[in-house]
Amino acid sequence: MEFKHISVLADEVIENLNIKPDGIYVDLTLGKGGHSKRILENLSENGRLIALDQDQDALNAAKENLSDFSNVIFVKSNFENIDRVLDDLGISKIDGALMDIGVSSYQIDNADRGFSYMHDGPLDMRMDTGNELTAEKIVNDYSLDELQKIFSNYGEERFSRTIARKIVETRDEQRIDTTFKLRDLINKSVRSNEAHPEKRVFQALRIEVNRELEVLENTLDKVIDRLNIGGRLCVITFHSLEDRIVKNTFKELEKDCICPPGLPVCICDHEAKVKTINKKPIIAGKKELKENSRAKSAKLRVCQRI
């Protein structure tokens, strides 16, 4: 299957990265390389791009897409490992970075990857297919309470207990091993006028399989600590849980003092690391929304190292 993906908010990313032609930049979520290509087009031969992705299919597609450029280094890794990646390359500081947290169109549309409730396939959902944990293992092996917690916390699903109970009852008779089996089970569990009431459960499972929120929280500080003064981090999110983490992290790192309210003097010696470039998230314009419906939920937040 051809790796297809339209990079969202590409113009806005390039504008806000404020690229220095001879700088060092990192694309932490390479995908097919759409954003990376735009970054490389703004770099001179002395500039460098480090491109990470944990999905080997994405790396293969990006290498082909970016074959005209010699100043890009491809690394198969989760962006959580950014410190180790940069250390291995002998790079201490960078001039900018991009994180596009969304699932690619290829991953969604490829039934074999098991991300979508629109295509029947194995219940997988791994971004890195070398990892052991799959959505099938979660659905069939987690306890009722564990399933409810995941659906509630990661999917904000109000029928989380009902769906979890139905899963446990069903798997006692037959293993739930495909996307359609899970989709049909959810549709039978709840009464809803929604077109796709299963979407929140699928989101929750994907987040659990890939540790998405945990990895995001673990990585933001690491990237910011690697930025040169004036360097920028652009983060694109696609749902409220991710956006909240980014927003709150930037907000905390903007503070000069984090002492409890009421102390007469500051004793924390904390210094602000960043300033937020856009107080409100940047969203797609009408033209992009018309051309790419998946940009509808995209939000871009930007901070600059100070």
Annotated binding-site ranges? 33-35, 53, 79, 100, 107
Distance of CA 223 to the CA centre of its chain: 14
- The sign of the CA dihedral 50, 213, 200, 278 is negative
Distance CA 185, CA 123 (A): 13
Known binding residues for S-adenosyl-L-methionine are 33-35, 53, 79, 100, 107
Half-sphere exposure of 22 (CA within 13 A, CB side): 1
Supply 274's token pair: 């960043």
For 7, which DSSP code?
P
SS3 71: coil
What does each C-alpha distance from 119 to 109, 110, 111, 279 come to in angstroms? 7, 8, 5, 38
Query: Is there a contact between 137 and 209 (Cβ–Cβ < 8 Å)?
Result: no
Supply 181's token pair: 């089996």
What does each C-alpha distance from 193 to 72, 110, 116, 203 come to in angstroms? 48, 27, 20, 19
Burial per residue of 269-293, b for 16 or more beta-carbon CB atoms within 10 angstroms, e otherwise:
eeeebbeebeeebbbbeeebeeebe
SS3 112: helix
